[in-house]
Amino acid sequence: MIEFLQMVLSGIAVGSSYALMGLGMVLIYKASEVPNFVQGEMALLPVFIAYMLLSSYGLPYYIAFPVTLIFAFFLGGILEFAVLRRAKEPNVLGLIIITIGMEMLLLGFVSWKFGADQRAMPFPISSYDSIIIGDIFISTLDMLTLVVALFIMLILFLFFRFSKIGVAMKATQQNENAAALMGIKTNQIRMITWGISAAVGSVAGLLIAPVLMEPYMMWDPMLKGFAGAVVGGMTSLPGAVFGAYIVGVVEHLFGGYVSIEFKSVVAFVVIVLVLCFKPSGLFARHYVKKV
């Protein structure tokens, strides 16, 4: 029983980083109905910028991390403004290819600028410190990831519920044409959405970097975050969160009881099963358009 609880707790902790990536992908999908496969690299570049600010310029954490998140916000907005918005009458497949192209571009830039070697991100909390609760232990970094993820989810809920920009984003996501007729600047809202998505993903990247920091570090969290978003529903922010936690827990239980080598495959098996039985995801409604 203790072993089971330990694996569930570890799955929830890891699922928190997946949840942040899934939230970022759902934000953009709700705005454009396109899976954003550059989500991981929109977090990757800011993480290496944070490393440069800490290591090369000697900035303290309380300055370097906020500057990194501001950089991530502008990076996401610039990608939407300079690339996505310039596409001429694109279809969904075309936009997906564009996001994959941006992913490879950012990945190539990080590899060229910073090299392919693994690095150690300076961080105020060691990844080796643990908190022991009875017979169950959890690393301090995992606990921080869980707390930060829950805090960001709360901030996003309050933002969408009570801020004018948040309400405008919800209106744009529900019906862009109607929102534009009501005076909402939908292009600016879409750009802000990309910026927020990049900043949320960068938080996940900063929490992953103390454990693993190299150019491909965000691929697995991005894919698992996408898996969680699909499981929960690509149009549901709470669904993406619960889906990510489901993926994290299931893969840890599979790795503990069945095979550690195939643990990463479980997320995609879950995707297949969910899409077969509930295509819209567990927490989203399935709409059928009739012409």
pTM more than 0.95:
no
Instruction: Return the ∠ at Cα 30 (arms to 13 and 226), rounded to 5°.
Output: 35
Q: Compute the distance between CA of residue 234 and CA of residue 36 in angstroms, rounded to an integer.
A: 11
- Specify the range with the lowest mean pLDDT, choosing from 57-71, 191-205, 235-249: 235-249
User: In the prediction, which pLDDT does 291 show?
Assistant: 43
Q: Compute the distance between CA of residue 19 and CA of residue 245 in angstroms, rounded to an integer.
A: 7
Q: Compute the distance between CA of residue 122 and CA of residue 272 in angstroms, rounded to an integer.
A: 39
User: In the prediction, which pLDDT does 46 show?
Assistant: 95
**Which tens digit of pLDDT belongs to each residue from 148-181?**
988 998 998 899 888 898 888 888 887 888 888 8
Q: Compute the distance between CA of residue 247 and CA of residue 18 in angstroms, rounded to an integer.
A: 8
User: In the prediction, which pLDDT does 284 show?
Assistant: 66
User: In the prediction, which pLDDT does 73 show?
Assistant: 96
Q: Compute the distance between CA of residue 25 and CA of residue 27 in angstroms, rounded to an integer.
A: 5
Domain positions in the chain: 19-216
> Which amino acid appears at position 240 of this protein?
A
Query: Biggest alpha carbon distance in the chain?
Result: 60
Q: Hey, which of 65-79, 89-103, 219-233, 263-277 has the most confident mean pLDDT? A: 65-79
Q: Compute the distance between CA of residue 39 and CA of residue 28 in angstroms, rounded to an integer.
A: 9
Distance set, CA 80 to CA 32, 52, 107 (Å): 11, 25, 17
| Residues above pLDDT 90, as percent of the chain | 34
**Which tens digit of pLDDT belongs to each residue from 217-251?**
999 899 899 988 888 888 888 888 888 998 998 88
User: In the prediction, which pLDDT does 110 show?
Assistant: 94
**Confidence check: pLDDT of 133 > 80:** no
Q: Compute the distance between CA of residue 197 and CA of residue 229 in angstroms, rounded to an integer.
A: 14
Q: Check if the beta carbon of residue 40 is closer than 8 Å to that of residue 100.
A: no
